[in-house]
Amino acid sequence: MNLERVAGCIRAIPDYPKPGIVFRDITTLLGDGPAFRECVEAIVERWRGERPDFVAGLEARGFIVGGAVAAMLGVGFVPIRKKGKLPHRTVRAKYALEYGVDELEVHVDAVSTGQRVLLVDDLIATGGTALAALDVLGQLGAKVIGAAFIIDLPDLGGGAKLEQRAIARQCLVAFSGH
């Protein structure tokens, strides 16, 4: 996999959504079929031997990446959504935002106790949403075998928080700063 090429496909947008933040936009990566395929294949290659039963993706870009990974692995996909977006009974977990608190949900019947789940999202920053996703999956008794991200912002510490929870992770591209 050509990491320089993949990193070059990720657009940096300064001062979005607020001053001082550099937003890492993957829509340009998604628009480059060969580069996007390389990312998905790299994730699949790393986790195929771990035999996940499901891939869980975080709303919204994690749905795109996670859905592609699930399809290539031949396993089901579990959407993890913001509160109020799923139509069936759910379990929830709160997570902190800079400006308050939000919640993630998953359907109560999305996975069963002991089933192996790979968590996928486009980016890990502070780790708040990833940790909330681990919490909702844990409420269902899932065994999270790892987490895969296209982008890591290691300066923000999210990856270290996953390591503290003993969650193996894969990040394809790291950017310093935020």
Q: Which pLDDT value is given to residue 100?
A: 80
Element (H, E) at 98: none
Position 99 pLDDT exceeds 90: no
User: What pLDDT, in 10s, does the model give residues 29-48?
Assistant: 999 999 999 999 999 999 99
Q: Name the catalytic one among 24, 61, 81, 169.
A: 61
Element (H, E) at 93: strand 90-97
3-state secondary structure of 17: coil
Q: Which pLDDT value is given to residue 68?
A: 98
Q: What is the mean pLDDT of residues 132-140?
A: 98
> Is 169 assigned a catalytic role?
no
Tell me the pLDDT band of 23, cut-offs 50, 70 and 90: very high
Per the CB < 8 A criterion, the answer to whether 81 and 70 are in contact is no
In this structure, the number of other CB atoms found within 10 A of the CB of residue 42 comes to 18
Considering only residues 21 and 76, tell me which one the structure prediction assigns the higher pLDDT: 76
Residues near 4 by Cβ (< 8 Å), separated by ≥ 6? none
Q: Name the catalytic one among 24, 38, 41, 98.
A: 98
Domain 50-174 has CATH 3.40.50.2020: yes
As a whole number, the mean pLDDT across the chain is 95
> Is 61 assigned a catalytic role?
yes
Q: Which pLDDT value is given to residue 98?
A: 66
Position 178 pLDDT exceeds 80: no
3-state secondary structure of 166: coil
Position 86 pLDDT exceeds 90: yes
What torsion do the CA atoms of 84, 85, 89, 93 make, to the nearest 10 degrees? -60
Q: Which pLDDT value is given to residue 146?
A: 98
Residues near 41 by Cβ (< 8 Å), separated by ≥ 6? 1, 72
Q: What is the mean pLDDT of residues 115-143?
A: 97
Spatial distance between the Cα atoms of 54 and 68, rounded to a whole number of angstroms? 12
Q: Which pLDDT value is given to residue 110?
A: 98
> Percentage of residues in the chain with pLDDT exceeding 90?
90
Token pair of 117 as six digits: 């789940």
Segments in 15-155 forming alpha helices (H)? 27-30, 33-47, 61-73, 128-139
Q: Which pLDDT value is given to residue 140?
A: 98
Tell me the pLDDT band of 97, cut-offs 50, 70 and 90: confident
